[in-house]
């Protein structure tokens, strides 16, 4: 799945545990993975957007 403004391919994984959802974003090119925790009732789009922003920040810090 293309990642918005960065144009990177990103794989998302969402796991719901109780009242929380853990969303992981993995950059295909580098293998860098980040995770964020959101309320389980939050929109999936919002969790993915948050994970993507965190991934972009981590990748920017690596350069």
Residues 6+ apart with CB under 8 A from 6: 56, 59
The count of structural domains within the chain is 1
How high is the pLDDT of residue 63? Answer: 77
CB count in 10 Å sphere of residue 26: 17
Say what the pLDDT of residue 4 is.
Answer: 53
CB atoms inside a 10 Å sphere around CB 62 = 8
Round to whole Å and give the CA distance between 42 and 5: 23
Range of the structural domain that residue 54 is part of: 2-62
pLDDT at position 62 is: 87
Give me the residues of the chain with pLDDT under 50, please: 1-3
Report pTM: 0.86
């Amino acid at each position: 799945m293309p990642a918005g403004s960065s144009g990177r391919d990103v794989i998302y994984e969402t796991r719901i545990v109780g009242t929380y959802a853990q969303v992981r974003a993995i950059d295909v090119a580098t293998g860098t993975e980040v995770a964020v925790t959101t309320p389980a009732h939050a929109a999936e789009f919002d969790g993915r957007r948050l994970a993507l922003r965190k991934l972009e920040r981590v990748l920017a810090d690596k350069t």
